[in-house]
Amino acid sequence: MTGTPFLEVRNLTVEMKGESGAIRVLDDVSLRIERGRTMGIVGESGCGKSMTALAIMRLLPPGFEITAGQVLVEGEDITRVPEARMRALRGNDISMIFQEPMTSLNPVFTVGDQIAEAVKQHQGLDAGAAEQRAIEMLKAVQIPGAEARLHAYPHEFSGGMRQRVMIAMALACQPRLIIADEPTTALDVTVQAQIFALMRELQQETGTAIMLITHDLGAVAELADDVAVFYAGKRIESGPAGAILRHAAHPYTSGLMSCTPRLRLSAAARDGAAVLREIPGMVPQLGRMPQGCRFAPRCPLADDRCRSVMPPDVEVGPAHAAACWKAETEVMA
Amino acid sequence: MQTLRKLTPAFKRVLEAFGLVMAVVILNFLLIQMAPGDPVEVIVGEMGGASEELIAQLRQQYGLDQPVLHQLGIYLGKVLTGDLGYSYYFNTPVLDLLLQRVPATVLLCLSALFVAVLVGTFAGAFSARKPDGAGSHIVTVISLVGYSAPVFWIGMMLLILFASVWPIFPVAGMQSLRKPSGFAYYLDILHHLVLPTITLAMIYIAYYSRLARTSMIEVLGQDYIRTARAKGLPENKVIWKHALRNGLIPIVTMVGLQFGQLFAGAVLVETVFNWPGLGRLAYESILRRDYPTLLGILLFSAVLVMIANLLTDIAYRRIDPRMRKART
Amino acid sequence: MMSSEPMQATAAPVEAAPAAKPDHPMRETLKIFLKNRSAAGGLILLGLILFATIFGPAIYGVDPYEMVWMPLSPPGDGTPLGTDYIGRDILAGILVGGRVTLIVGAVSAVMTIVIGLVVGSFAGFFGGRVDAALMKFTEFFQVLPSLLLAMVMVTIFSPSLGTIIFAIGIVGWAQIARLTRAEFMRIASLEYVKAARAAGARDGYLMFRVILPGSLPPIVVASALVTGASILFEAGLSFLGLGDPNQLSWGLIIGQNQNYLMDAWWTVTCPGIAIFLTVLAISLIGDGINDALNPRARKRG
């Protein structure tokens, strides 16, 4: 992978200004998202993966702030550009699909209106052309009877259909990156599969890059080309999906995988032994982070160095890095 | 069948509204019955030149020697046929008197409502953008004052201010003594309308600005606002299109519920500004103990409230599509 | 323990702000209340007003019903706040008139709150048809112009303190009833109420010993608003000449002098300020209680 990636996040740090000082919710995170590829961002709730997405969009909730680092879109650092430039990017070059299709659509406007809006905003189409585009988009996300449904309101759609509308909205301006923040968490399992299939299909047609945020490693295995694993506000491992799924370098990543039934089965088949593992203990509270590696208190391999010094990113394979003192030895072994 | 089902909710609303009016009619009847002394006194009013013959005639007309239920029947019959009694003080049938005064009150109430919703919503929405900013504090202070000051007193303070200090608005009545003609006629009324409208709107500006602020702060925290921003919409569109339409919903609900109180406020404002509406009439009938007129006004107020409720119901359905019947 | 739904127990970042260790809830509430400057201001203001109306007339010593000076003489010219159209001392009138205003306001507010509580709790507790019927009844009182209804009642039943209190109390309770009902419905579905019910508690016990205490906070806040509204209501009725004609009240002073307001602004301005400050004090206290009971509301509105 050479040249500038579409999106590069460099040493991004986000803090929440609270009454008792600033709390770091995202610490020194770096990522590269290549054109046309899918990056899976994995981690538990609260590990900072959604914060990363909102920081890239510069839509952090009030009180949260980017305090260090850069977000480069084709080399342009968007953490410092004026709001107007940011608006031109949002929905046009980078768009976002949110976790809650039930509440992410405005209940008082028709879905057609909400899809056409972005097109009018960014591409200056007139009302008729924008509506035409909205119909095309509804067809693209396979909503039956697109022309009629254009004038329907969100409450007249099921959850899965609403998420399709969200996808249609995100794709309307043919963005080069779609950030999908747990797009299927709120949906039934069968609907999840349909939505993923749809996203994969649309990606093949449009060549957009996808940043898929999820806590479901199964989804990552299915969709992602690259993977980044987050733990307690830090990106602790990243690399090609295949490499990570086969040889997780960070003990947390392997712990996470052994908790995912589908993957555990394949791992068991490979190793010839079903090892049912779990990660003991709890994620440390933000603002009360341990001094060294954040995973050390729960890590079976942790020693004194892990508990006192934060491990740096270590190259463990081609484009595969992990922030763990033990990573190297594990891969070698 | 399809149209019948479509009609049903609206029909139900109309029935409910009618029920409200009937309840007021019955309440009026009960008040007449429970009043100390002879019901005839209430029916005639103290100013009535109630001769023996008239009293006997009314006694017979209202069936006052009959059982109470029978009397209620007679009373309902009279009201439903538009017979609200006779005002001996004004020497006019009550219905005619009321119909004469309704337009002025409706004009005052609607213009106050318009100003209050407009100013209140904008002030609230503006201050909601920065919940801890100066604008928010101003809204809080204004709404505290608006809540706490008696409306008739605000009116009087405006009277003093505009009569002696800065005489740019007429301070009493609805028209100049020499009525201009043509377009100027309406301008003249509008000119007279300014102070009473501001006075009556004041409480509701206080109310709606606070309500709009709370509602907009809540709406601005919703997921769909984040979606709108993620689309790259300019902040103005996010607030005045996506947020405002949702933020208006509780305000419209309140307008319907509060119309009666608005009318009650109009009674005080009309009294202060000599505005020739139902409120001023109520004040005059209190002074003359003109009970038939007073009861008639109560009934009319119920009718006005009912109409206002039906209208806000329609507005509500227009603003919030979830309230309409789902298309299939 | 990690399962297929990994570690949902951890807090999302927004909630992760370490909460200060809470005091006893009541003391905490009281502390926030007193720290709130406007609430403390309201409390002091109300204290001063109560002091003035209770002890003021004795200290000032001027008979408010007697002509003591030239009619309509301005403030400072013989009397501190001027005289009214028949030469009575405005300050003396305000000091004495406050008693009627405050007593009527307070008693009718209590009546309003009690009616609202009873109707609302029955509707909320029993639900179903009881609820539907009571709520129709409540809606009737909510949408009618309450001042007009009170005017009609007072006119027909002749103005006296009792009638006025009754009229105000009977027309203003709808809001309290709706609030109580909503709170009752919310709390009745909580676990501890279900547990008490399962343990065989009787309806009366459940309503007034189990559910009512939990539903009080928002009702207390609304009660402050209702008290302010009752005082404004009394002022409105007295202004229209529907107060007890034999007893001075702030509204009555304004009403009696309204024909002279162009020549003698002080006759209506001063009693009006008294009403305004009293209601303002109560509103501030209500706001303070609201903030104290519900600290999040401060930031949100």
Answer whether B302 touches C (CB < 8 Å). Answer: yes
CB contacts < 8 A, B to C, total: 138
The per-residue pLDDT for A2 is 56
CA distance linking residue B127 with residue B207, whole number of Å: 14
First to last CA, chain B: 16
Structure tokens at A105: 């659509």
Cβ distance of B232 and A108 shorter than 8 Å: no
pLDDT digit string, tens, across residues B54-78? 777 777 777 777 777 878 888 888 8
**Which of B224, B232, B245 lies at the smallest CB-CB distance from A92?**
B232
The per-residue pLDDT for C111 is 92
pLDDT digit string, tens, across residues B229-244? 998 888 888 988 889 9
CA distance linking residue B268 with residue C131, whole number of Å: 34
The per-residue pLDDT for B107 is 92
> Alpha-carbon dihedral of residues B138, B144, B148, B150, nearest 10 degrees?
40
The per-residue pLDDT for B111 is 93
What distance in Å separates residue C292's CA from the closest CA in chain A? 18
pLDDT digit string, tens, across residues B116-145? 999 999 888 888 887 777 777 888 888 888
- Which chain A residue shows the shortest CA-CA distance from C7? A44
The conformation of residue A188, written as its DSSP 8-state character, comes to -
> In this prediction, what percent of chain B has a pLDDT beyond 90?
11
Residues in B touching A186 (Cβ below 8 Å): none
CA distance linking residue C58 with residue C80, whole number of Å: 16
> In this prediction, what percent of chain A has a pLDDT beyond 90?
8
> In this prediction, what percent of chain C has a pLDDT beyond 90?
10
Residues in B touching A119 (Cβ below 8 Å): none
The conformation of residue A218, written as its DSSP 8-state character, comes to H
Structure tokens at C203: 């309806």
Please state the ipTM of this predicted complex.
0.84
Residues in C touching B286 (Cβ below 8 Å): 151, 155, 240-242
Q: Which residues contact A189 (CB under 8 A, 6 or more apart)?
A: none
Identify the CA nearest to A107 among candidates B242, C99, B240. Answer: B242
What distance in Å separates residue B327's CA from the closest CA in chain A? 7
The per-residue pLDDT for C297 is 46
Domains held by chain A: number: 2
Q: A138-168 burial by CB neighbour count: b if 16+ within 10 A, else e?
A: bebbebeebeebbebbbebbeebbbbbbbbb
Cβ distance of A23 and C16 shorter than 8 Å: yes
Q: Which residues contact A101 (CB under 8 A, 6 or more apart)?
A: A159, A160, A162, A163, A165, A166, A186, A187
Backbone angles phi, psi at A10, to 5 degrees: -120, 115
**Does residue B155 or residue C92 have the better pLDDT?**
B155
Answer whether C14 touches A (CB < 8 Å). Answer: yes
Cβ distance of A91 and B231 shorter than 8 Å: yes
**Which of B160, B263, B267 lies at the smallest CB-CB distance from C265?**
B160
The residue segments making up the domain with residue A134 are 111-167
Q: Where are the domains of chain B?
A: 2-80, 95-327
Residue A4 lies in a domain: no
Residue A140 lies in a domain: yes
Cβ distance of B261 and C235 shorter than 8 Å: no
Cβ distance of A122 and B232 shorter than 8 Å: yes
pLDDT digit string, tens, across residues A254-299? 888 777 766 654 544 444 444 445 677 777 776 677 788 888 888 8
The conformation of residue A103, written as its DSSP 8-state character, comes to T
Cβ distance of C142 and B260 shorter than 8 Å: yes
What distance in Å separates residue B250's CA from the closest CA in chain A? 14
**Regions in chain A scoring below 50 on pLDDT:** 1, 265, 267-276, 329-333
What's the mean per-residue pLDDT of chain B? 82
pLDDT digit string, tens, across residues C77-119? 777 777 777 778 878 888 888 888 899 889 999 999 999 999 9
Answer whether A207 touches C (CB < 8 Å). Answer: no
Cβ distance of B322 and A92 shorter than 8 Å: no
Q: What is the mean pLDDT of residues B298-310?
A: 87
pLDDT digit string, tens, across residues C237-281? 989 888 887 888 898 888 888 888 777 788 888 889 999 999 999
Answer whether B133 touches A (CB < 8 Å). Answer: no
Answer whether A291 touches B (CB < 8 Å). Answer: no
Residue A148 lies in a domain: yes
Site from B227, B244, B327 to mutate, A interface, most A CB atoms within 10 angstroms? B227
Q: B98-130 burial by CB neighbour count: b if 16+ within 10 A, else e?
A: beebbebbbbbbebbbebbbebbbebbbbbbbe
CA distance linking residue C196 with residue B272, whole number of Å: 56
* Residue C215 pLDDT greater than 60, yes or no: yes
Cβ distance of B226 and A118 shorter than 8 Å: no
> Alpha-carbon dihedral of residues C183, C186, C192, C193, nearest 10 degrees?
70
Q: Which among A167, A187, A208 is the end of a domain?
A: A167
Residue A135 lies in a domain: yes
Residue A9 lies in a domain: no
Using a 10 angstrom Cβ sphere, with 0-12 exposed, 13-18 middle and 19 or more buried, the burial of residue A261 is exposed
Residue A155 lies in a domain: yes
Counting other chains too, the contacts that B88-97 makes at CB distance below 8 Å and 24 or more residues apart are B88/B44, B88/B45, B88/B47, B88/B48, B88/B49, B88/B50, B88/B290, B89/B45, B89/B47, B89/B48, B89/B285, B89/B288, B89/B290, B89/B293, B90/B290, B90/B293, B94/B292, B94/B293, B94/B296, B95/B296, B97/B281, B97/B293, B97/B296
Q: What is the mean pLDDT of residues B279-290?
A: 85
Cβ distance of A286 and C13 shorter than 8 Å: yes
Site from C3, C10, C21, C298 to mutate, A interface, most A CB atoms within 10 angstroms? C10
Q: Which among A152, A167, A182 is the end of a domain?
A: A167
What distance in Å separates residue A249's CA from the closest CA in chain B? 35
Catalogue all structural domains in chain C, each as residue range(s) with its CATH number: 33-300 (1.10.3720.10)
What distance in Å separates residue A331's CA from the closest CA in chain C? 24
Answer whether B284 touches C (CB < 8 Å). Answer: no
**Which of C144, C262, C283 lies at the smallest CB-CB distance from B144?**
C283
Structure tokens at C267: 């006759």
Answer whether A96 touches B (CB < 8 Å). Answer: yes
- Which chain C residue shows the shortest CA-CA distance from A262? C4
What distance in Å separates residue C143's CA from the closest CA in chain B? 5
What distance in Å separates residue B237's CA from the closest CA in chain C? 22
Q: Which residues pair with A314 in a beta bridge?
A: A322
First to last CA, chain A: 27
pLDDT digit string, tens, across residues B178-206? 767 777 777 777 778 888 999 999 888 98
Residue A75 lies in a domain: no
**Which of A19, A25, A256 lies at the smallest CB-CB distance from C6?**
A256
Q: Which residues pair with A66 in a beta bridge?
A: A14
Residues in B touching C241 (Cβ below 8 Å): 286-287
What distance in Å separates residue A24's CA from the closest CA in chain B? 22
CB contacts < 8 A, A to B, total: 77
Answer whether A282 touches C (CB < 8 Å). Answer: yes
Q: Which among A149, A167, A185 is the end of a domain?
A: A167
CA distance linking residue C170 with residue C175, whole number of Å: 12
Residues in C touching B29 (Cβ below 8 Å): none
| Size of chain B in residues | 328
* Residue C63 pLDDT greater than 60, yes or no: yes
The per-residue pLDDT for A50 is 87
The per-residue pLDDT for C145 is 86
Cβ distance of C14 and A45 shorter than 8 Å: no
- A236 membership: H or E segment, kind and range: strand A234-240
* Residue B49 pLDDT greater than 70, yes or no: no
Residues in A touching C298 (Cβ below 8 Å): none
Answer whether C3 touches A (CB < 8 Å). Answer: yes
Residue A63 lies in a domain: no
The per-residue pLDDT for A315 is 84
- SS3 helix, strand, coil % of chain B, rounded to 5? 80, 0, 20
Residues in A touching C17 (Cβ below 8 Å): 16, 18-20, 23, 287
- Which chain A residue shows the shortest CA-CA distance from B246? A108
pLDDT digit string, tens, across residues C38-52? 788 888 999 999 988
The conformation of residue C88, written as its DSSP 8-state character, comes to B
Site from C2, C4, C5, C8 to mutate, A interface, most A CB atoms within 10 angstroms? C2
CATH number of B95-327, picked from 1.10.3720.10, 1.20.210.10, 1.10.10.10, 1.10.760.10: 1.10.3720.10
CA distance linking residue A256 with residue A234, whole number of Å: 15
**Which of C241, C279, C300 lies at the smallest CB-CB distance from B287?**
C241
pLDDT digit string, tens, across residues C1-37? 333 333 333 333 333 334 444 456 667 777 777 777 7
The per-residue pLDDT for C24 is 62
* Residue B93 pLDDT greater than 60, yes or no: yes
What distance in Å separates residue C287's CA from the closest CA in chain B? 10
Answer whether C299 touches B (CB < 8 Å). Answer: yes
The per-residue pLDDT for A304 is 84
DSSP string computed for A245-275: HHS--SHHHHHHHHTSHHHHHHHHHHHTS--
The per-residue pLDDT for C10 is 35
Chains within contact range of chain A (3+ C-beta pairs < 8 Å): B, C
- Which chain C residue shows the shortest CA-CA distance from A281? C1
